[in-house]
Amino acid sequence: MIQLLAPWLLLTLPLPLLVYWLAPPKLNANQSALRVPFLADFMYDSPVKIAAPKRTRLYLAALAWLFLVLAAARPQWLGEPIERAINGRDLMLAVDLSASMQEKDFILDKDYVDRLTAIKSIATDFIERRVGDRVGLILFGSEAYLQTPLTFDRKTVATLLDESALGLAGDNTAIGDAIGLAVKRLRNESANSRVLILLTDGANTAGEISPLKAAELAAANHLKIYTIGIGADEMLVGGFFGYRKVNPSADLDEKMLIKIAESTGGYYYRAKNLDDLNNIYMRLDELEPVEKDKQYFHPKRELYFVPLAIAMLLAGVLSWKRKLS
Give per-residue pLDDT as tens, 229-268: 988 876 655 555 655 566 667 778 889 999 999 999 999 9
Query: Which amino acid does the sequence have at 316?
Result: G
Phi, psi of 4 (to 5 degrees): -105, 125
Q: Is the pLDDT of residue 46 over 70?
A: no
Residue 50's pLDDT is: 45
Share of the chain above pLDDT 90, in %: 25
Contacts of 293 (CB under 8 A, 6+ apart): 86
Q: Is the pLDDT of residue 88 over 80?
A: no
Residue 36's pLDDT is: 47
Residue 100's pLDDT is: 85
Q: What average pLDDT score do residues 76-85 get?
A: 71
Q: Higher-confidence residue: 253 or 45? A: 253
Residue 48's pLDDT is: 46
In angstroms, the CA 109 to CA 129 distance is 22
In angstroms, the CA 252 to CA 229 distance is 7
pLDDT band at 297; cut points 50, 70, 90: low
Q: Higher-confidence residue: 26 or 60? A: 60
Query: Which amino acid does the sequence have at 239?
Result: G
Q: Is the pLDDT of residue 316 over 70?
A: yes
In angstroms, the CA 195 to CA 227 distance is 11
What CATH topology corresponds to 87-291?
A: Rossmann fold (3.40.50)
Q: Is the pLDDT of residue 82 over 80?
A: no
Residue 242's pLDDT is: 57
**Range from 19-28, 30-39, 47-56, 127-136 that averages highest in pLDDT:** 127-136
Residue 177's pLDDT is: 94
- Check: CB of residue 107 under 8 Å from CB of residue 115: no
User: pTM for this structure?
Assistant: 0.62
99-117 pLDDT tens trace: 888 888 788 888 888 888 9
Residue 111's pLDDT is: 84
Average pLDDT, the chain: 81
pLDDT band at 34; cut points 50, 70, 90: very low
Residue 94's pLDDT is: 94
Q: Which regions of 53-193 does DSSP assign to beta strands (E)?
A: 75-78, 82-84, 87-88, 90-96, 106-108, 111-113, 134-140, 144-151
119-158 pLDDT tens trace: 898 888 888 888 778 899 999 999 999 999 998 888 999 9
Residue 300's pLDDT is: 82
Residue extents of the structural domains in the chain: 2-80+298-324, 87-291
Q: Is the pLDDT of residue 170 over 70?
A: yes
186-215 pLDDT tens trace: 887 765 678 999 999 888 888 889 999 999
Helices in 2-46 by DSSP H: which ranges?
15-22, 29-34
Q: Is the pLDDT of residue 274 over 90?
A: no
Residue 176's pLDDT is: 93
Q: Is the pLDDT of residue 288 over 80?
A: no
Q: Is the pLDDT of residue 64 over 60?
A: yes
Q: What average pLDDT score do residues 82-90 get?
A: 64
